[in-house]
Amino acid sequence: MWIRRDDLIDPLISGNKAYKLFYNLIEARRRGASTLVTCGGAWSNHIHAVAAAGSRFGYRTVGVIRGEKPPKLSATLSDAERMGMVLHFVSRMEYRKRGEKDFFSRLDLQAGESYFIPEGGGNLLGVEGIQLLGEVIEDTMPVKFDQIWVACGTGATFAGLSLTMDRVRVIGVEVLKAGDSILRGVCEWGSRLRCANKLLDVARVDYRTALRESLIGGYHCGGYARYPDWLRSFHFDFEAETGIPLDPVYMVKVFNGLSDRISKGEIPIGSRILVLHSGGLQGRRAYIK
Ligand SMILES: *Cc1c(COP(=O)(O)O)cnc(C)c1O
């Protein structure tokens, strides 16, 4: 097993969020935007990365945060504020409407010339940034990997890799109860990207079936950010044995899933597996003091 340490690519704009932001930042610059607007929860890795990107590349940033303002900000949000992000709290009910067309204009963010990045960086440019990562992996892999394992939140990372890499099977571990929403998202991004690059024909039924089989749904441990005690034990054992830090929301679930599949004999002996460490370590502070 190999681990690609994208948690180490940058101290602040880390992991898969860096790739998802890459083309978005270029596009914001091209449009002459002065402000980046985005949204997320109190421990969001994406909020943290956008705040850092804004301060490094000279954008004002506005974060629309799910839930009422707490008496004490989470470590993630205090970092974001320190990096200059203006936080705008909305109730959970209001936050659910974030997909609506005039959601952000209704909030009166006074954001000037703003460029909007959706939650988690999960837009088409985000997926294209991940495709760049896929190309890098394919061009530089030291051996031919049989599988590459990644965590799935919005599924943008899984989509970008599976839509790019045709020599390696990409396996996505869903960290939340996603139903078939991740699969649908991947197919939609795939058909939109098909115009831009003709790598894979996602309209094909067999391709859709292959994708479904590559998304693993049984390891969310009860839902997003659920972190039962037994998972914590697995987490601590993993870190003690390997010296590699994991976050409790994404990476620990990937390694638990992989370890479970290996112990059940479902992965052929001799398989060469790459695990993408997609970062998220700032969020560790929510669980581990
Ligand atoms: C955001 C995040 C993910 C999820 O990526 P998606 O592209 O939304 O599926 C995975 N791992 C880490 C560490 C993250 O912060």
- What confidence tens digit (pLDDT) does each residue in 137-153 have? 999 999 999 999 999 99
Pocket test for ligand 1, best of 5, 24, 247, 278 (most atoms within 8 A of CB): 278
Average pLDDT, the chain: 93
> What is the CA(118)–ligand 1 centre distance, in A?
13
pTM: 0.95
Q: Which two tokens stand for residue 5?
A: 């340490």
> What is the CA(240)–ligand 1 centre distance, in A?
24
**Ligand 1 pocket: which residues have CB below 6 Å?**
15-17, 45-46, 120, 122, 151-158, 247, 250-251, 278-280
Ligand 1, atom 4: closest residue by C-alpha: 153
> What is the CA(198)–ligand 1 centre distance, in A?
25
Average pLDDT for 75-81: 98
Q: Give the position, in ligand 1's atom list, of the atom nearest the Cα of 250.
A: 11
Residue 250 corresponds to which amino acid? Y
Give the best-scoring range by mean pLDDT among 102-116, 188-202, 235-249: 235-249
For residue 236, give the 3-state DSSP assignment.
helix
Chain centroid to CA 288: 21
> What is the CA(237)–ligand 1 centre distance, in A?
23
Q: Is the pLDDT of residue 184 over 70?
A: yes
Q: Are 131 and 154 in contact (CB under 8 A)?
A: no
40-74: b or e for each residue (b if 16 or more CB lie within 10 Å)? Answer: bbbbbbbbbbbbbbbbeeebbbbbbbbeeeeeeeb
Sign of CA dihedral 222, 228, 230, 232: positive
- State how far the Cα of 19 lies from the Cα of 215, in Å rounded to an integer: 21
Rounding to the nearest 10 degrees, give the CA dihedral for residues 213, 202, 116, 53.
60
Q: Is the pLDDT of residue 289 over 90?
A: no
